[in-house]
Amino acid sequence: MKLLVTGGAGFIGSNFVHYWHEAHPNDDLVVLDVLTYAGCRESLADLGDAIRFVRADIGNTGHVVEVLDRYAIDVVVNFAAESHNSLAIIDPERFFRTNVSGTVGLLEAARTYGGLTRFHHVSTCEVYGDLDLDANEAFTESSPYRPRTPYNASKAAADHAVRAYALTYGLPISITNCANNYGPYQFPEKLIPLFTALVLQDQPLPLYVSKDNRREWIHVLDHARAIDLVLSKGSPGQTYHVGTGDEFSIEEIADRILAELQKPDTLKTTVPDRPSHDRRYLLDSSKIRAELGFAPQVQFDQGIRETIQWYRSHESWWRPLLGRAPVQESAAWHLGS
């Protein structure tokens, strides 16, 4: 099989490329990425000639069609997106341009090319809005979309566009909505890599006032395994939720990082909330478990320790990236989800 992985130099995309190369060594992998500030060619450096890399914008339909033709692509997996909630509040147009217009450009390229067996679109739990902290409920694949932030709204609009292309043009699509990912190669603007980097430098951890807000967490390689199952066993036109049921508050994550690195609680500080800060996300993943046999393999206790230690031992990877981030609010710009 020949895969085009868009956004493949980003956090989830690069981990997916590593996973796919190991799990399917005979498949051809083409990575397409425009290399915005969070796109890191360094994350793919160890793969060398095992992949082909194309620097391009998914919104450039003509260029993408050329790539699809040149490499006779069978499957597109679309990770390309702007994903930082705080930046979306400051520069919402950037998010709608990439996440909506860019996705439509990519869909147009797929429709023009006409040779795909699957167009898989990677979405987020955040399209559904949020849940009460004490609610005994989770989002299902049939939950209504109620996005509350520009990032949420841009991803929701992209999902609708993907489904519209399936219904209108017969494009063989699938969608996964995933919980918060963690693992190696995550740009140090998100909670776990940022807090780990700050603790390693003995700098304060900026906890929002709503530090009890909770997220569901999944290791990025379990996410990759889920997409593999959707591509191999899932039916075109279907949406699947990918989660673990592992919920932790923002402060609980901070406490785990401090404990793992043996640093004092006095590093924790409090900063004002960002606007429309969602309280809680939780996905009902029973469909993908029952229909495709998905089961997470990385237990959170193990995964978070390994992730913290990865950043501890890969300072040469993340330290040069600190100056790239477009939002600098005394490090209070964390929590991209």
Helices (H) and strands (E) in the chain, counts: 12, 12
Q: List, in sequence order, every beta strand (DSSP E) within 247-299.
A: 247-249, 268-271
**Quick one: pLDDT at residue 275?**
77
**Quick one: pLDDT at residue 327?**
61
Please give the backbone phi and psi of residue 280, each rounded to the nearest 5 degrees, phi first.
-160, 140
**Quick one: pLDDT at residue 92?**
95
**Quick one: pLDDT at residue 209?**
85
Q: What share of the chain is helix, strand, coil (3-state, %, to 5)?
A: 45, 20, 35
Going 219 to 235 to 289 to 149, the CA torsion angle's sign is positive
For residue range 214-272, what is the model confidence (pLDDT) as tens digits? 999 999 999 999 999 999 999 999 999 999 999 999 999 999 999 999 999 999 999 88
- Contact, 163 vs 97, CB < 8 A? no
**Quick one: pLDDT at residue 240?**
98
**Quick one: pLDDT at residue 215?**
94
Higher-pLDDT residue of 210, 283: 283
- Split at pLDDT 50, 70, 90, the class of 185 is very high
Distance CA 247, CA 218 (A): 10
- Residue 114 token pair: 């006409």
For residue range 49-101, what is the model confidence (pLDDT) as tens digits? 999 999 999 999 999 999 999 999 999 999 999 998 889 999 999 999 999 99
For residue range 121-159, what is the model confidence (pLDDT) as tens digits? 999 999 999 998 988 999 999 999 999 999 999 999 999
- Contact, 113 vs 4, CB < 8 A? no
How far is the CA of 283 from the CAs of 42, 130, 142, 278, 335, in angstroms? 32, 11, 11, 14, 19
- State pTM to two decimals: 0.95
The verdict on domain 2-181+218-242 having CATH code 3.40.50.720 is: yes
Going 267 to 268 to 273 to 277, the CA torsion angle's sign is positive
- Residue 68 token pair: 């699809």
What average pLDDT does the segment 174-197 reach?
97
What average pLDDT does the segment 102-117 reach?
98
pLDDT at 19 over 80: yes
Q: Which helix (H) or strand (E) holds 2?
A: strand 2-6
For residue range 290-322, what is the model confidence (pLDDT) as tens digits? 999 999 999 999 999 999 999 999 999 999 998
**Quick one: pLDDT at residue 272?**
86
Residue 26: count other Cβ atoms within 10 Å of its Cβ: 5
What average pLDDT does the segment 277-295 reach?
94
